[in-house]
Every structure is written in C-alpha cells, then in structure tokens.
Amino acid sequence: MSKQGSVKISVVGVGHVGSVVGFVAKPGSGGDMMRALQIDHYADHPTARLADAPVVAPRNGQVRVRIQAAGLNPLDGKLAQGHFKEWFPINFPYVLGTDFAGVIEEIGHSVEDFRPGDAVFGRAEPTAGGALAEAVTLSANLIAHRPAGLDAASAAALPTPAGVAYQALSEVLNRPAGSKLLILGAGAVAHTAVQLARDLGGVTVCGRGAERLRDLGIDVIEPSSPELATVAANSSFVLDTAGGNLQATVIPLLRPGTHVAAIVNPVDEELAKSSAITADYVVLATRQATLNRLARLAADAELGAEIAGYFRIDQAPETYRAYAAGKLIGKHIMQGDVG
C-alpha cells in the first residue's frame, strides 16, 4: 500500500487562550456573595472546597447568569491537575466549571440579544471557569437561548461534549455521506457525536462502554475485538475521543489518507507519517452559532445527553473529588437552587 498520503498535525480551534472573563471582574456593587466550588492550587489528586465568592457585576458585553444546572467534564479534573497550564492558564483561587444552564439576572452595556429572565445555556472559557457556583458572569458571546422543551440539566450536559463533537465532525472531518467513520471511546463526546453523525451512515463506535450506544442505530465494537483491524482499515475518518493506548493501537491499522480528528492528545507525528494519515488535534472553541445549533437539535429531540447522576452545590466538593479521581462514570450535573 502507498505511504504517500498527506500528513498534517495541527491544532484546530484554540479559543481565546489567555483571555479571562468571569470571576476576575469587579464585584457586584452590592457586595453580594455566593457559594462557589473553588480550588486553590494544582494537585495530582484534586480536591475543591465550597467558598464564598463575590457575585460579579457584568461589564460591557457581559451577562450574569443564575445557575440552574452545571455539568462536570473531564477538563475540570485535568485543569486542576495542571495538565493544561500552557493551553489554559488559570489564576487561583479558581472557580471550577465551564458548562451551565440558567437564567439571566443582569446584563451589561451593549448586550442586545439577551434580557434579564431569559433562559440560557453556555460554556465559560476554561481560563475563567466559574460555572460550578450559584452564578457566573461571562461574555454574552458564550451563551445561547435555551428553547422551551430543553430543560436546564439537559442543556448543561451539552456545551463541551456536543460542542467539540460538532466542531470535529462539521468543521474538521466534514465527511461525505456514506463514508465510514470510526469513533474511538464511548463517553459523552462519543454519545453526542453518534447523534450528530448517524444520518450520514457508516458509523462504528469502539469503546468498552460502546454497547449501550447500539440502540442509536450504529455499529459498536470492543477495543479487544479482532475485527477492529478490519473496521479501522475500512474507515476513512476517525474521531478519537479516547487517546492514549487505543489511539496508538488504531493509527497503524488505518489506510493511507484517513483523516483523524483527535481530542484527547495529538497523534504522534512519526506514527502519523509512517501511517500516511492526516491528523488534527481539535480543541473546542466555544461559538454562539454552535450553541444555537445544538439548542435547535436538542429542542427537536435530535440530540440529547445521557445523565448519570445529579448533585447539589453542598455535595459538590465530594462529588468533584470522586469525579476527578475517576470514580464516577458518565455525565454528572450539579443542580442549582432555582427553577
């Protein structure tokens, strides 16, 4: 087989690294305080505490959202472990959480599309965090309206997993109908990716937990299956949500010219060259247009999240510690005190 396919290792979609919006802004004029899940330093085994943090008044172009629901993501653990110091530098104390849904309490100047009382959802920049709290203040560009029929918990489960799945599938892989797509890993990103990709046909998910996704109308395969070599060789596109060993196992099985979008770790450059594949490392850049698209799909019941568990803010420290330690599987949602 020819080994002359194009090789491209590139990072796609690094959004606003270094731009911090949220809890570094000035406190609300009334000096109001709220509870927030906070870390004070990096740690291999992160723990967080409920702290009193200032309620932040929205500045120009910002909104303050009362949190109804906030979703935990693997990123919340990795950030605290210091894995993304270069990509997403954070300042301590740092309030955890990117994904949320809630109701707008206050808007700053120049905010035209949102009003107090609007139901919204969104994703805070990882550099800023702030969603695992009673309220978050952030740019209005990072939120979207939440249609009737999309409840807060379901909305808060979507921004990061469905956002990166949408970005990788629509903006990076952009595969034609009928082509074969192999999705590595079977977590929240894979679950939403399947729903976004299945209309084009030819989707197989490879992961230990993939069996539960079969009902979505796709094929599934165990990582240990001998058939993986055939499935990989027949796939022209790969969305890698697993990284690590599974990525290293599958890349040499691919045929030249296959396009891989990896979201956990970049594909090893030498391995990509020797396999003559194209590899992109995709980092989610939150876009309002994407949030709007996800909201429409969810409201039309074409996209939904699996929620494995709920917790309240006073349970957030223990839930976060277990989640960051890998002891909780699946999407966990913090439910706020309102609505």
Cα gap 112→238, rounded to integer Å: 40
Point out which residues bind ligand NAP (CB under 6 A): 73-75, 78, 160-161, 164, 185-190, 207-210, 212, 241-242, 263-264, 282-284, 306, 308, 329-330
Question: Is the CB of 127 or the CB of 241 nearer to ligand NAP?
Answer: 241
Tell me the residue nearest to ligand NAP as measured from the CB: 187
Are residues 236 and 258 in contact, defined by beta-carbon separation less than 8 angstroms? yes
Local structure of residue 56 (DSSP, 8 states): B
Local structure of residue 85 (DSSP, 8 states): T
Burial class (CB in 10 A: 0-12, 13-18, 19+), 33: middle
The minimum distance between CB 169 and ligand NAP, in angstroms, equals 13
Alpha helices in 134-210 (DSSP H): 152-156, 159-166, 188-197
Q: Which residues pair with 239 in a beta bridge?
A: 183, 261
The minimum distance between CB 14 and ligand NAP, in angstroms, equals 9
The minimum distance between CB 330 and ligand NAP, in angstroms, equals 4
The minimum distance between CB 5 and ligand NAP, in angstroms, equals 23
The minimum distance between CB 314 and ligand NAP, in angstroms, equals 23
Question: Is the CB of 58 or the CB of 71 nearer to ligand NAP?
Answer: 71
Are residues 261 and 239 in contact, defined by beta-carbon separation less than 8 angstroms? yes
Question: Is the CB of 227 or the CB of 337 nearer to ligand NAP?
Answer: 227
Question: Is the CB of 241 or the CB of 247 nearer to ligand NAP?
Answer: 241
Q: Six-digit token pair at 84? A: 């993304």
Question: Is the CB of 143 or the CB of 193 nearer to ligand NAP?
Answer: 193
